[in-house]
Amino acid sequence: MIAIAQFVAISCYLGAAALAAVPFARPVRAPVAGVLTALGLGIAAHVFALLSFAFRASTVPMTGLGPSLSFAGVVLATTLFIVELLAREVSLTVVAAPLAALPTIFGNVIGLRPGQGAEGVRGVWLFAHIALSFIGIAAFATAAAAGAMYLLQRRELRSRRFDTLFRFFPPLATLDRVNHFAAIAGWLGLTLGIVLAGTYSVEYRQLNLPQLFWGGVAWLAITCIALGRVAGGWQARRAAMYSNVAFVSVLVLYVALRVATPAGGQFL
C-alpha cells in the first residue's frame, strides 16, 4: 500500500509538470486548475504513504535516508503547491514538480527503512530540526527554480524572439518576487534548523560533522542570497544567477559528502 501511494504521488507530480508544459507544445493557456489538482492529489497520496510508514515503523519519516528523501519530496511539493496557488501561475511546476518527484523516487529505490529515532522531548527536538531544515531546503529550491526561469525569460526578451517560452512564463516581476520571498523563507527555515541541530548535538553529545558542515554551507549560501536581496540591493538578475549557482553547489556538496562519508546512512 505504501509503495502504491508513493507511485501515485510520483505520477501526479510528473503529470502536473506535463500539464504545466502544455503551452510549450501549442498556444493555449496553462491549465491552472488541472495542475493544482494533480499536485494536490500527489501530496495527499504522499502524505498517506508517509503516515502509513510512520504507523508501521512507530517513528516519524525523518530518520534514515529513504524516509528523509521521501519527506523532502513532499515538503517541496507542498511548498510548490502553496506558491502556485497564491500566484495563480503554474509555470514553476515544470521545474519544481520533477524536483519533488526525484527524491521520492530515490527514497523508494533506497528503501523506506527507519534510522535511529528518539523519544519524548528529544524526539520532538529532532523532529523540529529536520522538519525546519527540509522546509528551508524546499524554499531554497523554489528560489533557484524561479531564478532559472527568470534568466530564461530575460534571455528571450533580450533576443526579441517572444516565442512560446515568453508566452508561457509569468512576468519577470512575478518570478523575481517568488525568488525574493522563497529566499527569505529558506533562510528562516534553515536558520532555525541549524540552531536546533547545533543545540541538539551539544545537549546529547551526538556530533555529525558531515551533516553539520553541509547544513552550515547551505545556510551560508541562502544567507548570502537573503542579505543580498534585503540589504545589498541585489537586482533580480544577480539574485537569480546566485540562487542557481548556490543551489547547484549545495547539491553537489551533498552528493560528495554522501559518497565520501563512510557511515553514509547516518548522514541525511
- Give the alpha-carbon dihedral of 222, 223, 225, 231, to 10 degrees: 160
Cell of 176: 523575481
Q: So what's the pLDDT on residue 264?
A: 47
State pTM to two decimals. 0.64
Q: How many CB atoms lie within 10 A of CB 88?
A: 12
Q: So what's the pLDDT on residue 120?
A: 59
Alpha-carbon distance of 97 to 14, in angstroms, equals: 6
Q: So what's the pLDDT on residue 156?
A: 72
Residue 195, phi then psi, degrees to nearest 5: -60, -45
**Is the CB of residue 6 less than 8 Å from the CB of residue 49?**
yes
> Over the stretch 122-156, which tens digit does the pLDDT of each residue have?
666 677 777 788 888 888 888 888 888 888 888 77
Q: So what's the pLDDT on residue 174?
A: 79
Digitized pLDDT (tens) for each residue of the chain, 268 residues in all:
888 998 999 999 999 989 888 776 666 677 888 999 999 999 999 999 989 888 887 776 666 667 877 887 888 888 888 878 877 777 778 777 888 888 888 888 877 776 655 555 666 667 777 778 888 888 888 888 888 888 888 877 776 665 555 556 677 887 888 888 888 888 888 888 887 777 777 766 777 777 788 888 998 999 888 888 877 778 888 889 999 999 999 988 888 887 776 554 445 5
**Nearest-5° Cα angle at 208, 206 to 213:** 140
Q: So what's the pLDDT on residue 112?
A: 76
Closest CA to 247 of 127, 142, 108, 160: 142
